[in-house]
């Protein structure tokens, strides 16, 4: 057994399901409980491994959080399917006509947990950084909205904060700058903001606010630390499902960058673009996006 695998196994072993007690029955509260538990495991991975080997730390964190989430879901929601970034079978992009033997079980399930065990691995592996997260969302076939997201939680363990649909955050207050037509703030990648986002910010006279994971960026909009998050560089459903569930419960606007609805648990889990923003900003932002959309 490698040092990395051994560390992950040891950490996961320190947190058997019994240690967390009986989880809430309510799906939204359960999502929060799951995200918090995975977050505690990730903090322990950081403490045990340190930061000398960033690659090993990323891999160990991904595995430990994924194993915890899959174990708890198998125990407490055994009839539900799971779509996880770290699960090769569930994330297969299946097409009609392909063998049914490779068709993910989630496509015939009525309830699917969409999880990202560690969103922001780069930030997780850097000492002192807190802009990484755990995503846990529930998709249900019996729904009234196009996204069909019934529950969601975004844990930011290093910030000791979790946003979830069981206690949806209050709608963020309108900043004075926005109220007077001044500069808006767009959460953007701290290392590789897409060129079109830079052009969009110049068009709007907006400030780009660099930060890490997608979950943390959307949380910044929910918290009122940013006015919008725009992404078109390629993502998957697990990157946005949980934060979009919380943002929608808060009352914020969430859509594709062309204004169309976000949909989850599709045959191909790639969901390459989205925008989350204050509702009062959405018409202005979507109109500007039409002038700067990346070429297909």
Is the pLDDT at 114 greater than 70? The verdict is: yes
91 or 179, higher pLDDT: 91
Q: Which of 141-145, 165-169, 172-176, 211-215 has the lowest mean pLDDT?
A: 172-176
Which pLDDT band holds residue 5 (cuts at 50, 70, 90)? very low
The pLDDT of residue 7 is 41
Q: What is the pLDDT of residues 148-187, one digit of tens each?
A: 999 999 999 999 999 999 999 999 987 756 555 668 999 9
pLDDT, one tens digit per residue, over 42-73 is 999 999 999 999 999 999 999 999 999 999 99
Helix, strand or coil, per DSSP, at residue 240: helix
CA distance readout (Å), 120 to 14, 58, 101, 185: 24, 9, 32, 21
Check: CB of residue 228 under 8 Å from CB of residue 221.
yes
Q: How much is the pLDDT for 11?
A: 40
pTM for the structure as a whole: 0.89
- Give the pair of three-digit tokens for residue 15: 């947190």
Confidence of residue 286 (pLDDT cuts 50, 70, 90): very high
198: pLDDT strictly greater than 80: yes
CA within 13 Å, CB half, 22 = 2
Instruction: Specify the pLDDT at position 102.
Output: 78
Side by side, which strands form the sheet with 149-156? Answer: 81-84, 111-119, 133-140, 149-156, 161-164
What's the confidence (pLDDT) of residue 109?
96
- Pick 112 or 233 by higher pLDDT: 112
Please check the confidence at residue 106 and state whether its pLDDT lies above 70. Answer: yes
Digit-coded pLDDT (tens) for 228-267: 999 887 899 999 999 999 999 999 999 999 999 999 999 9
Task: Identify the pLDDT of residue 10.
Answer: 41
Q: Minimal CA–CA distance to 215: which of 193, 236, 192?
A: 236
Residue 99 has what pLDDT? 77
- Of 116, 105, 2, residue with least CA distance to 66: 116
Rg of the chain on CA atoms, in Å: 19
């Amino acid at each position: 057994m490698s040092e990395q695998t051994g560390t992950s196994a040891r950490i996961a072993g320190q947190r058997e399901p019994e240690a967390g007690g009986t989880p809430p029955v309510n799906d939204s509260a359960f999502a929060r409980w799951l995200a918090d538990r995975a977050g505690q495991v990730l903090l322990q991975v950081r403490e045990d491994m340190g930061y000398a080997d960033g690659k090993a730390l990323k891999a160990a964190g991904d595995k430990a959080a994924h194993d915890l989430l899959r174990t708890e879901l198998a125990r407490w929601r055994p009839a539900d399917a799971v779509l996880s970034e770290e699960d090769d079978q569930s994330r297969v992009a299946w097409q009609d006509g392909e063998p049914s033997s490779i068709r993910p079980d989630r496509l015939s399930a009525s309830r699917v947990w969409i999880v990202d065990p560690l969103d922001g691995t780069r930030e997780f592996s850097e000492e002192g950084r807190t802009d990484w997260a755990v995503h846990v969302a529930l998709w249900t076939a019996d729904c009234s909205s196009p996204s069909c997201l019934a529950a969601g939680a975004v844990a930011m363990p290093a910030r000791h904060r979790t946003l979830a649909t069981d206690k949806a955050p209050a709608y963020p207050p309108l900043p004075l700058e926005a109220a007077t037509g001044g500069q808006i703030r767009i959460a953007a990648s701290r290392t590789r903001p897409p060129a079109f986002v830079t052009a969009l910010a110049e068009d709007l006279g907006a400030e780009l606010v660099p930060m890490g994971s997608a979950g943390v960026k959307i949380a910044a909009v929910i918290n009122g630390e940013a006015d919008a998050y725009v992404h078109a560089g390629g993502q998957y459903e697990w990157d946005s499902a949980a934060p979009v569930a919380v943002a929608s419960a808060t009352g914020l606007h969430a859509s594709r960058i062309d204004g169309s609805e976000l949909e989850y648990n599709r045959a191909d889990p790639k969901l390459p673009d989205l925008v989350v923003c204050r509702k009062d900003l959405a018409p202005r932002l979507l109109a500007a996006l039409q002038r700067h959309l990346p070429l297909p």
